[in-house]
């Protein structure tokens, strides 16, 4: 989690789902945590540079779009670069890769003063070099978020671990120094180092208290990305809205256009889908609106003071939160997941 904090803010979390490129120099713990953070945030192009073929392969499995040897990094043009090595050569490579107004963050901590020389010409056109310690993290805010992301499989840090029996401590140290392992862990018993991945990969495993931070950590969605039929699943199962939707046979939502949205598509007794305009009190429309610091696609009901806001889990999944007057049940809002499905006939109820 320490290295995840260092990776979360400076160069990866500030990127959006647009055509940005992040160059990560060094595929150690911090660099690979940055890959996971960038993938979670929807960064379009994540390039990892590392001399180890094994580490490059792991970077690809964790979400990098490209993994290259340092000598092949000359043609990379990045909007953000993250240097996790802190040597003169890697600083030079990171700055050389930057497009105009690009930002390079360095997170490495090497012994001594570790002086580096920066070419003034590389900082022209608005390029920035900044140092980062622990990701400028707010521990009380960020550690619970990182734990929540790990719990649902969005930050699989267990894939960086190699367990060693305590009696093999010398082998663990040797493998770490040789770069054969990312994060060696000495095990004192036969219990697994981390739960099996299958138990952490479903959003339904998230605690309800985690949902606001998870929603806020995800990239925004454009209204145009919400088209077609989406199957819904409620996450706030104790909320009164969840009980109402379950009784109605709620299936999901149908987004025909920005001005033509069916917020409540339900399943009838025969399995056919129909639009329940009575329960929804009309239709809905798509717009862009802000919630909890995120400006993103939102759905406003025509006949109720309710607005659903969406952030991006994947190209075919969004996380939604219902807001508006009387939307809260006590102090809790209602969270839901929508998954895009194949179009099928939907009747007007």
pLDDT score for 200: 30
pLDDT, tens digit, for every residue of 220-262? 999 999 999 999 999 999 999 999 999 999 999 999 999 999 9
**For residue 153, how many C-alpha atoms fall within 13 Å in the half-sphere facing its CB?**
11
pLDDT over 50 (residue 199): no
Class for domain 208-348, per CATH? mainly beta
Angle between helices 53-62 and 29-40 (to 10 degrees): 20
CATH 3.40.50.2300 holds for 2-134: no
Q: Is the predicted pLDDT of residue 293 greater than 50, yes or no?
A: yes
- Give the long-range contacts of residues 170-178, CB within 8 A, separation 24 or more: none
Alpha-helical runs (H) found in 188-324: 211-217, 240-248, 277-280
Average pLDDT, the chain: 87
> Domain limits of the chain?
2-134, 208-348
- Please report the pLDDT score of residue 227 as a whole number: 96
Q: Select from 307, 295, 306 the least CA-distant residue to 221.
A: 295
Higher pLDDT pick, 195 / 84: 84
Query: Is the Cβ–Cβ distance between 130 and 104 less than 8 Å?
Result: yes
Instruction: Give per-residue pLDDT as tens, 304-347.
Output: 999 999 999 888 999 999 999 989 999 999 999 999 999 999 99
Q: 137-196, pLDDT tens digit by residue?
A: 777 778 888 888 887 788 888 889 999 999 999 999 999 888 888 999 998 876 655 544
* pTM as predicted: 0.70
């Amino acid at each position: 989690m320490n290295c995840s904090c260092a990776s979360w803010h400076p160069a990866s979390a500030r990127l959006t789902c647009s055509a940005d490129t992040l160059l990560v120099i060094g595929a150690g713990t911090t660099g690979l945590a940055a890959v996971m953070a960038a993938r979670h945030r929807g960064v379009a192009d994540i390039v990892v540079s590392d001399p180890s073929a094994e580490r490059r392969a792991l970077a690809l499995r964790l979400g990098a779009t490209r993994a290259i040897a340092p000598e092949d990094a000359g043609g990379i043009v990045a909007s953000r670069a993250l240097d996790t090595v802190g040597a003169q050569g890697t600083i030079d490579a990171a700055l050389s890769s930057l497009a105009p107004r690009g930002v390079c963050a360095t997170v490495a901590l090497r012994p001594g003063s570790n002086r580096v020389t920066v070419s003034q010409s590389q900082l022209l056109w608005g390029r920035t070099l900044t140092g980062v310690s622990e990701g400028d993290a707010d521990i009380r805010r960020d550690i619970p978020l990182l734990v929540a992301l790990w719990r649902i499989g969005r930050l699989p840090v267990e894939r960086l671990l190699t367990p060693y029996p305590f009696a093999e401590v010398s082998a663990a140290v040797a493998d770490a120094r040789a770069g054969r392992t990312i994060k060696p862990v000495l095990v004192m018993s036969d219990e697994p180092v981390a739960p099996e991945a299958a138990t952490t990969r479903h959003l339904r495993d998230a605690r309800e208290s985690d949902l606001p931070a998870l929603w806020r950590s995800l990239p925004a969605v454009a209204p145009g990305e919400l088209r077609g039929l989406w199957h819904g699943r409620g996450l706030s199962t104790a909320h009164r809205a969840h009980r109402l939707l379950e009784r109605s046979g709620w299936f999901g939502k149908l987004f025909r256009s920005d001005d033509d949205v069916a917020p409540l598509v339900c399943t009838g007794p025969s399995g056919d889908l129909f639009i329940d305009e009575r329960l929804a009190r009309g239709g809905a429309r798509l717009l862009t609106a802000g919630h909890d610091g995120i400006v993103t696609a939102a759905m406003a009901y025509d006949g109720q003071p309710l607005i659903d806001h969406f952030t991006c889990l994947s190209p075919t999944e969004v996380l939604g939160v219902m807001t508006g007057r009387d939307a809260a049940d006590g102090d809790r809002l209602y969270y839901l997941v929508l998954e895009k499905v194949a179009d099928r006939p939907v009747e007007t109820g």
